[in-house]
Amino acid sequence: MMAGRMTGSTNHPCPGRSFRAVRVFLTLLAALVCLAIAAAARAHGVAEGDQAFIEGSTGINIAPYMYLGAKHMVTGYDHLLFLAGVVFFLYRMKDVAIYVTLFAIGHSTTLLIGTIFNINANPFIVDAIIGLSVAYKAFDNLDGFTTLFGWRPDPRKAVFIFGLFHGFGLATKLQDLTLSPDGLIPNLLAFNVGVELGQLLALAIILIVMNIWRLSPSFQRTAVIANAALMSAGFILVGYQMTGYFTQGA
């Protein structure tokens, strides 16, 4: 149960610092929710400047593509919300490494295969599933599956499967661009490395704040609020994408 996951996290020698961490995390979460909704409402494409570079470049460009991959991850609010949900109750670095690796493998696989082999899917549907992944993880953190259904999906398999959709979501964006075949595979590999580096950077920040917050006496109460906000954000993203599907992409 969720309360059990938080056992041992109610004592802290410096409540002021942990309270500030709570406020920082909730503020960042609220900002990510707002930015995710705004990004979903705008469009599905790559930023104009990045699009111009990608379509105008030829040959192997390792460093620029690594930068673009890292930029995508640290500004990919749906990815960050999902990762925040995944690590929310992971206390051991070994567990964090396992889950993040599963997500990275799934993300990398569909990003590369989907782009190289031009496997098409409606981007609104894919992004709706990505939004659903955020809602799923928050619902799981709240023990919703166990409480309502008496069972819980395997969390590792779920993270890997949703990782496939997260990577495929980016592949659908790249498919809208005219990619030069000259240096395509090295550039995509560099882009993917950048994505993973950006993910590690974002994850490090999330974990620093989370580790301080977990020592706060208010963690149990605010954890429920945070996951309820995560779940709401996920469903809002699903709603935006499905609205786009029926009005633009169907």
Domain boundaries, the chain: 2-249
Lowest mean pLDDT among 42-46, 106-110, 122-126, 148-152: 42-46
pTM for this one?
Answer: 0.84
Q: Distances from the Cα of 72 to the Cαs of 5, 44, 210, in angstroms?
A: 32, 13, 23
Three-class DSSP category at 91: coil
> What band does 12 get if pLDDT is binned at 50, 70 and 90?
very low
Q: What is the mean pLDDT of residues 47-58?
A: 83
Per residue in 139-189, pLDDT tens?
999 999 999 999 999 999 999 999 999 999 989 988 888 888 999 999 999
CA 189 from chain centre, in angstroms, equals 20
Q: Tally Cβ neighbours within 10 Å of residue 178.
A: 8
Per residue in 131-153, pLDDT tens?
999 999 999 999 999 999 999 99
Q: Do the Cβ atoms of 126 and 163 come closer than 8 Å?
A: no
